[in-house]
Amino acid sequence: MSETTSRSRTIMVVGGGIAGITAAVEAAEAGHDVVLIEKSPSLGGRVAQMNRYFPKLCHPTCGLEINFQRIKKSKRISVFTFSEVSAVKGGPGGYTVTVKTSPRHVKANCTACGDCAKVATSEVSNAFNYGMDSVKSAYLPHVMAFPMRYVVDPSVVGTPEGEAIKAACPVGAVDLEQKDESFDLEVGAVVWATGWRPYPAANLTAYRWTDIPDVITNVEMERLASVDGPTKGKIVRPSNGEAPKRVALIQCAGSRDLNHLAYCSRICCLASMKHAAYVREQLADATVDVYYIDLRAHDKLESFLNRLKRDPQVNFVKSKPARIEKSEAGGPVVCGENTLTREVYAEPYDLVVLATGMQASLAAEGQPSFAADFDDYGFVFAEGDSIAAGVASGPLDVSMSVQSATAAACRAIRAVTA
Amino acid sequence: MTTKTMSYYPGCSSQASAVHLDTSLRAVMGKLGITLRDVEDWNCCGASVGHVDGGHLGMYALNGRNLAAAQAQGPEDFVTPCAACYLNSHYHNEKIRGDEALKAEVNEVLAAGGKSYDGSLHVRHSCEVLVNDIGMDAVKAQVTKPLSGLKVAGWVGCQTVRPFAKTERGGNYDAYDDPKFLDDFISACGADAVPFKGKTKCCGGSVSVMSPDKTLHLMKDILDEVKETGAEVVVTPCPLCQTNLEMYQPMINEKFGTDFNFPVMFYSQLMAVAFGLDAEKDAALHQHLIPPQPVLARAK
Amino acid sequence: MSERKTGVYLCSGCGIGESVQVGALEGVAKSEYKLEAKTHACLCGDEGVGMIKADIEAGTNQVVVAACSARVMTDRFGFEPIQVVRADLREKVIWSHPAGDEDTQALAEDHVRMALTQASKIKAPEPWTEGEFSQTIMVLGGGVTGLSAALQAAGLGHDVLLVERADQLGGHARTASKRLPHTPPYDKPEANDIGVLLDAVAANPKITVRLNALVTRTAGMPGKFAVTFADGTIEDVGAIIVATGWRPYDATKLGHLGYGASPDVVTNTDMEKMLAAGQLARKSDGKAPKSIAFVQCAGSRDADHLPYCSSICCQTSLKQALEVLETDPTANIFVIYEEMRTPGVAEELYRQAQSKGVIFIKGKVKAVGADLTVTVADELVQQDVPLAGLDMVVLATGMVPNSTNPDQAMVEYGAEQLNGDVDPEAPIAVAGYCGEAPAAHEKRVQSVPEGGPLLNLQYRQGPHLPVLHDGFADSHYICFPYETRRTGIYTAGPVRRPMDWAEAAEDAAGAVLKAVQAVRSAAAGAALHPRVGDLSFPKINLNACTKCRRCTVECPFGAIDEDEKEYPNVNPTRCRRCGTCMGACPVRTISFDNYSVEMLSSMIKAVKVPDEFSGKPRILIMACENDAVPALDQAGIKRNSWSSHVRVVPVRCLGSVSLLNISDALSAGYDGVMLMGCKPGDDYQCHFVKGSAMAAERLSKVGETLKSMMLEPERVVQAEASIADSDRLPKVIDGFVETIMKVGFNPFKGF
Amino acid sequence: MNAMSPTPSKAYDLNFARWVYENVDGGDRMALCMQCGTCSGSCPIGTQMDHGPRKLFMMIRAGMKDAVLSSNTLWNCVSCYNCVVRCPRQVPVTYILHDLAHVAVREGYAQAKESDNARFAKAFWWSAAKYGRTDERLVTAKYYFSFGVGEGIKRGMANQKIAMGMVKTKRMHLGMPHKVKNTGELHAILAKAAEMEAKKHGAK
């Protein structure tokens, strides 16, 4: 990846998830220089943490591989990981963007040989698996990581372990002295592709995610089902490692709720269909109950919903559960009213998956004033000067995000060529 | 130490089933520098059933009259220890404040008794005063007989935090789902607040008074959870909760073949004891159907 | 190309030096290829890269790097325009096989041999750039999507030909009332600003509009499309955006919902027109309706009509209800629905409609009487409810994509334009059932909209645009909504997926950017996604061609026509460089400058095959470089190991594998051959559409070849691989090795 | 409260629903109910309700006025406010049920009048209005005897132990009930309230 050559015609893309990557490669392949800013150690964002996509049940890493190849082939994209935008000055055609980078403690000459991890002794929570397991304090973010470079956790800086890790690197790539840095970039357009975070399940106090181990979130389910997840893809009860027999999927866990997210997150219903499929593919005698207000499956995705409806071991209950209680055995008991039968139920389950919604990352971070025009929910309102791609602009599924990102690239190009 | 005067609305139960709440709270607040000035000639708030016969304006009349009386005495905050009184006063006060037409209507009613109210007072729960005005450090400072080792289940109940976990000045004094303040009170007294998930479960409220058959199982569930936690005593801020859970234990034992015998106290009694105040005159421990003294004695 | 000067560079870093004897690898280069290899302890470091650059300065014009996988350090080892061949000694050798082991050593040496052989068989591709290339972008359809696309394309500096079949631009929006909310707080109908778009288009000098226009024929290829119109005129365009939008579902098929029973049962499009005209009135008596019922999913989500959800009918009914209430706040409005679908911030519109008094009834419509009494099986009050005294019933009819031209006679679709044998509603393949298995499920027939081809494509694969199972001309890929099966032709708007105005405008911008890339890449002779920038293209030696037509039939992108003499004729800019044609050709006449059957066979033969007395088998794996190879790399990264008797040859796509490669392998003494590639069939993962499927079909015929060689069929298999198979593939490989050991050694060894 | 509530003439005749929206405390937000069931599900004794709040709201829209106003749902509300804080559309369910209970009594629905809750409420209001304070002893007694002398004594006896205990612990006092000093003023205020209320919905 070359240094950016032209200044005012350069496009900055903030966020290296599927939307940011797409905006970057599409702009680059149309002949423009792009700076791609990513907060985490590697690109891929949320989709890299997904096991599979609906409705094809194919692997997100397949598309990521192609996109990473596109970035590798491109001479026009500069990628900055561990980086965030801390200030933006100027306007369309001429922005000065201040970028803040935090230390990876590993330099660009890392060959990913893994010698550092061999000598690391302490472990840190594994962010890639949403903290469901841990990794060595010197680690590769994940097997598809791009850039393919290790990270040394700040916790070992100034410790004998840190020194050992440093000494173990055959190419001297470990740098424990790295500090936060800031630098300015001149760009002609900024594309906000800052994506989303799962709505914090801890806020849904009635669903007891914090104190019932077998209540997990939909994103945790993705890791649970993933071959590189904490269980190598085995769907089990976190409490005892056993295969669940009764699974509940609870829709609108935070979404469509004026006390939490006022909007519908669009993807949760279909993601839950996928989760039903994960369970049914693995466990012959498992039954899945889907609790919902309205089943929302737009366009051809209706067919995907129908596929699950055909499975006699997947049941649908039109009800927003009121609360989850703890059984004497410590398992979750889902309580509510079945609105079609009027019966008030209290059903015990082995595993409950909360379909938590999508919250705009920027909203979660308190809408930086410099960033863009926001709507009431913290999504970037992209009909003004602001250019947004993917979920930063609203709750979208992957192909809609890519569509939005390609359009954002088009608008950005027009902004820098105007 | 902060010294403050507040208008005090004890509520009907203060003269009957919850007299021991009233007694102990006055004693404790005194120690903590809060002067409680009774609202002159206060009346019933209508509780959870007044609306049925009283209707809209009837409820506004009752609550408006109290607020008017308080305002006539001064602008100080309007404090009440009773969950139902708090809910009704808070609710009607906010409505009156927020709706000019309604305010006029209510004042037309009050005028019949030569009273008026402009909606400017702030209604508060005595627990919220302890949290926000006094603070746990001040409470701890008064503790001379810490109730070490005493296992206490802090049972908040409903209306103390639902729906008004927020103060009238905005902001929350606690969460309606998993409130912490009662546990803080308990620990401030040197006792152990056991983790108690049933802390906001409902006792059946007035329905328990009129038709216990419908709600005994609710109280039984609560007592089951208390038992699970290994607590020796239940502490609550709510008059009706205290009465229901205490007086129905024999009936519950009869119906479900259980053997519950948990003392149910008010937080203010616990504080009075921890403050080393008089067991009867201040803590009113003698006014329980299930005497807490034996359990309290066990605390070292 | 001037005389080939190949530089060979070995890396001994990352443990390579400790696990294999790099000296011996240098020896291979020297003794077998007469090439001086240079070894560095960290080749990707500045020093190593500097060394290579210096040699290039000094005249080296081809580089072979034997170090890590080609998937990493791509930028460090990129020396355009110099060709670089990578040999993987790390991920697929030392990370996945025991150190200091003679078999690992042999594996490493073979990797070097294959790379050096490959290098000797390729040359830097010369792009195909013959003749004139048009930069004009044609937009078919003058509705919201088309108008937006035209403006975006013009904004990017391209001339635009905007083609509309009607006598004026504007599409549905011209007769529609207000728009769905698209600006915060998203809670009220917004002004129909189609006029703004129309004016902008009229004022834009780069946009040429053709009204009443019918495309009768589209020939050529990206950069060189020749579009013929009914009036005989021909336009040259570089890329095409199909923005033909949608048509309402035929309401006459909705008798069960009362359509036809009364003139006051209308469709949502009728309603839209009435609201736009500002005269909402009953057709029967001209009175303004006081009570209106909206019936959702009129045709949509119905196996007997449209199987899919039309996505915007819910919002449209809410919008129309709010418009009615704006003029008459006391109107009684009912929305009869089964699932209220207001995704994203559209939830605001739902809440708004409720707070304005719209009543929502969940349930199916059982009957609609001539007196407009609608009987609903009300699921929430749990009884059948007659809605009496209604003045109007609005059927929220769904969207049918204009992936065909409804004005023209139906032309049958060939399988090539359909989505293959996909059954989108087949039950998920489950681990099993503890109770009743689902009733046998009848596969849904693919819905294809009535009408003639939009462009009448002059492609071997037929005149229609390929469509998915629901009839929409959408991409098959979730990550790549613009990855079309007809290079340089992109769909946008409701012809691709049911969508509203705001999204259609966005989609138009996306499609335009792809079209712009298409015309620019075409002129440069470069490939488009997924092999972006690849300058190679298929060259056919017609002298050897047998006119068997396999290449023209099997090309997934219709890149190869047959000329009048029935010889294959390549349209290079349609080509996506997968090599399926090359794999199809029985007489290896098709090859790319940097990829050919011969190259693959030479690499295969370059491997040292031990004799049977060594007790060591040699097994060939031809692996798809998009999924299988990355999966094996990841297996290496995770230090999973597999038999060191296999040799992996990466291929662009299994479709490019020729049976000749397989017979060459077997006659070279390999004991088994495995083709490893993406999932074929229904939900194919292959980005070249049917590479794996073609490979499977060809393998089904390999039995003959094997018989003729008197070999067991078990020796040649195909394995499905996904990129997430880093734990599974090693087991698959070892399993195959075991099978082969059972079958025994290939008698042709050392023949 | 404006006027008596209108009586629907057919299914989904909206006159009653609209009246509720406009006249019942919190009724305006009831329009936002999306029938998710959170309220009925969070109710401690939802199992003992015939319809539960969620369905009751749908019945109001459906114009099932009589069924609504004679529903036991109105009388089984324990006023725990769980539904209020959990409702994703922030519908003040408890307040609506309370007010509908009042409407049911005011409009003379027998099921309403006969319910335990209505009887108790009547006794309660009698005490509150008469004395300005609720005397638990009198309220309970009045409530018990509202079922007739026999039933009254039966219930009294059943709770005798409790009553004695309360007396012994000085939590129930005998003799004259507590009352406000200025009963005259209180009665004037309540009378005015009643008068104004009556004027609005037409005395009954």
pLDDT, tens only, C423-479:
778 888 888 888 888 877 777 777 789 999 999 999 999 999 999 989 999 999 999
| Per-residue pLDDT band at C640 (split at 50, 70, 90) | very high
Task: Give me the residue spans of the domains in chain C.
Answer: 1-124, 137-245+402-415+446-524, 251-398, 596-751
Do chains C and B touch by CB distance (3+ pairs < 8 Å)? no
Cβ-contact C504, C498 below 8 angstroms: no
pLDDT digits (tens, 9 = 90+) for A40-53: 999 999 999 999 99
pLDDT of residue B169: 84
Contacts of C530 in chain A (CB under 8 A): 66, 69
Residues β-bridged to residue C719: C676
Class of domain C596-751: alpha beta
Does B67 reach chain D within 8 Å, measured CB to CB? Answer: no
Contacts of C342 in chain D (CB under 8 A): none
CB burial of B29-66 (b: ≥16 within 10 Å; e: otherwise) equals bebbebebeebebbbbbbbbbbbbbbbbbbbbbbbbbb
DSSP string, C556-583: TT--EEE-TTS-EEE-GGG-----HHHH
Cα separation values, C515 from A26, A300, B41, B248, C246, Å? 11, 25, 83, 78, 21
- In chain A, whose CA is at the least distance from the CA of C531? A70
Tell me which residues of chain A, numbers 256 to 275, contact chain C at a CB-CB cutoff of 8 Å.
256, 262-266
Instruction: Tell me if D76 and B207 make a contact (CB, 8 A cut-off).
Output: yes
pLDDT digits (tens, 9 = 90+) for C208-233: 999 999 999 999 999 999 999 999 99
Neighbours of B100 (CB within 10 A): 10
**Nearest CB neighbour to C513, from listed A30, A283, A297:** A30
CA distance B229 to chain D (A): 21
Cβ-contact C611, C670 below 8 angstroms: no
Name which of C328, C358, C376, C381 to mutate to probe chain D: the one with the most chain D Cβ atoms within 10 A of its Cβ: C381
DSSP string, B102-144: HHHHHHHHHHTTT----S---EEEHHHHIIIII-HHHHHHH-S
Cα B143 from Cα B109, distance rounded (Å) = 47
pLDDT of residue C422: 61
- CATH number for the domain running over A200-356: 3.50.50.60
Question: Is the fold of C137-245+402-415+446-524 the same as that of C596-751?
Answer: no
Contacts of B163 in chain D (CB under 8 A): 81, 84-85, 92, 94
What's the mean pLDDT in D149-168? 89
Name which of C385, C387, C391 to mutate to probe chain D: the one with the most chain D Cβ atoms within 10 A of its Cβ: C385
- Tell me yes or no: is domain A11-102+180-197+359-417 CATH 3.40.50.1950: no
* CATH assignment of C137-245+402-415+446-524, among 3.20.20.30, 3.50.50.60, 3.90.79.10, 2.60.120.380: 3.50.50.60
Evaluate if residue C113 carries a pLDDT over 50. yes
CA distance A364 to chain B (A): 20
Instruction: Tell me if D64 and C381 make a contact (CB, 8 A cut-off).
Output: yes
- In chain C, whose CA is at the least distance from the CA of A286? C434
CA distance A211 to chain C (A): 30
Evaluate if residue D174 carries a pLDDT over 90. no
pLDDT of residue A5: 39
Structure-block tokens of residue D81: 């406010």
A75: amino acid identity, one letter: K
Contacts of D35 in chain C (CB under 8 A): 360, 362, 380
Neighbours of A118 (CB within 10 A): 12
- In chain D, whose CA is at the least distance from the CA of C334? D12
pLDDT of residue B287: 97
Tell me which residues of chain D, numbers 49 to 78, contact chain A at a CB-CB cutoff of 8 Å.
51-52, 54-55
Asked if the bond preceding C222 is cis, omega within 30° of 0, the reply is no
**Nearest CB neighbour to A337, from listed D34, D46, D89:** D46
Instruction: Tell me if C354 and D31 make a contact (CB, 8 A cut-off).
Output: yes
Do chains D and B touch by CB distance (3+ pairs < 8 Å)? yes
What's the mean pLDDT in A67-74? 95
pLDDT digits (tens, 9 = 90+) for C702-745: 888 788 888 899 999 999 999 999 999 999 999 999 999 999 99
Evaluate if residue A7 carries a pLDDT over 70. no
Name chain C's partners: 3 or more CB pairs within 8 A.
Answer: A, D
What's the mean pLDDT in B60-87? 97
Chain A contact residues (CB < 8 Å to D): 206, 252, 256-260, 293, 318-323, 335-339, 342, 344
Name which of D36, D55, D76 to mutate to probe chain A: the one with the most chain A Cβ atoms within 10 A of its Cβ: D36
Instruction: Tell me if A320 and D47 make a contact (CB, 8 A cut-off).
Output: no
pLDDT digits (tens, 9 = 90+) for B195-224: 998 999 999 999 999 999 999 999 999 999
* CATH assignment of B4-125, among 1.10.1040.10, 3.30.70.920, 1.20.1050.140, 3.40.50.10440: 1.20.1050.140
CA distance C356 to chain D (A): 8
| Per-residue pLDDT band at C751 (split at 50, 70, 90) | low
Instruction: Tell me if C351 and D89 make a contact (CB, 8 A cut-off).
Output: yes
Helix (H) or strand (E) holding D200: helix D183-201
CA-wise closest residue to A403 among B86, C280, C507, C241: C507
Instruction: Tell me if A296 and C341 make a contact (CB, 8 A cut-off).
Output: yes
pLDDT of residue B197: 87
Instruction: Tell me if B197 and A326 make a contact (CB, 8 A cut-off).
Output: yes
Structure-block tokens of residue C719: 């394995």
Name which of C65, C311, C313, C478 to mutate to probe chain A: the one with the most chain A Cβ atoms within 10 A of its Cβ: C478
Give A392's DSSP letter: G
**Nearest CB neighbour to D10, from listed C359, C361, C388:** C388
DSSP string, C191-229: ---HHHHHHHHHH-TTEEEE-S--EEEEES-TT-EEEEE
Cα separation values, C60 from A87, C75, C391, C595, Å? 47, 19, 85, 21
Comparing A42-56, B108-122, B160-174, C157-171, which segment has the lowest mean pLDDT?
A: B160-174
Contacts of C749 (CB under 8 A, 6+ apart): C609, C611, C612, C669
Do chains A and C touch by CB distance (3+ pairs < 8 Å)? yes
Task: Give me the residue spans of the domains in chain B.
Answer: 4-125, 136-298
Instruction: Tell me if D38 and A320 make a contact (CB, 8 A cut-off).
Output: yes
CA-wise closest residue to B52 among D23, D106, D145: D106
User: For chain B, what is the mean pLDDT?
Assistant: 95
Evaluate if residue B174 carries a pLDDT over 90. no
Helical segments of C668-712, H only: 691-708
Instruction: Tell me if A407 and C507 make a contact (CB, 8 A cut-off).
Output: yes
Evaluate if residue A6 carries a pLDDT over 50. no
Task: Quickly name the fold that domain B136-298 has.
Answer: Rossmann fold (3.40.50)
Contacts of A288 (CB under 8 A, 6+ apart): A247, A248, A249, A275, A276, A279, A280, A313, A314, A315
pLDDT of residue B299: 84
pLDDT of residue C587: 93
Neighbours of D31 (CB within 10 A): 22
Cα D139 from Cα D128, distance rounded (Å) = 9
Instruction: Tell me if D162 and B247 make a contact (CB, 8 A cut-off).
Output: yes
Instruction: Tell me if A26 and C513 make a contact (CB, 8 A cut-off).
Output: yes
Does A141 reach chain C within 8 Å, measured CB to CB? Answer: no
- Match 């299930």 to its residue by tokens: B290
| Per-residue pLDDT band at A366 (split at 50, 70, 90) | confident
- In chain D, whose CA is at the least distance from the CA of C360? D34
Evaluate if residue A2 carries a pLDDT over 80. no
Q: Is A192 helix (H, G, I), strand (E, B) or coil?
A: strand
User: For chain A, what is the mean pLDDT?
Assistant: 95
Tell me which residues of chain B, numbers 190 to 219, contact chain A at a CB-CB cutoff of 8 Å.
197
Q: Where in chain A is the domain with CATH 3.50.50.60?
A: 11-102+180-197+359-417, 200-356
Does B175 reach chain A within 8 Å, measured CB to CB? Answer: yes
| Per-residue pLDDT band at A1 (split at 50, 70, 90) | very low
Evaluate if residue C293 carries a pLDDT over 50. yes
Structure-block tokens of residue D126: 């009698």
| Per-residue pLDDT band at A4 (split at 50, 70, 90) | very low
| Per-residue pLDDT band at C421 (split at 50, 70, 90) | low
Instruction: Tell me if C627 and A62 make a contact (CB, 8 A cut-off).
Output: yes
pLDDT of residue C419: 62
What domains can you pick out in chain D, each with its CATH number?
15-114 (1.10.1060), 116-198 (no CATH)
Cβ-contact C161, C139 below 8 angstroms: yes
Contacts of B254 (CB under 8 A, 6+ apart): none
Class of domain C1-124: alpha beta
Helix (H) or strand (E) holding A186: strand A181-187
**Nearest CB neighbour to A403, from listed C436, C481, C723:** C481
What's the mean pLDDT in D29-51? 96
Task: Residues C251-398: name the CATH superfamily.
Answer: FAD/NAD(P)-binding domain (3.50.50.60)
Contacts of A140 (CB under 8 A, 6+ apart): A112, A114, A117, A148, A149, A150, A151, C637
Structure-block tokens of residue C103: 């078999």
Name which of B21, B23, B41, B43 to mutate to probe chain D: the one with the most chain D Cβ atoms within 10 A of its Cβ: B43
What's the mean pLDDT in C327-355? 97
CA distance B207 to chain D (A): 6
In Å, how far from its chain's centre is CA B252? 24
In Å, how far from its chain's centre is CA C643? 34
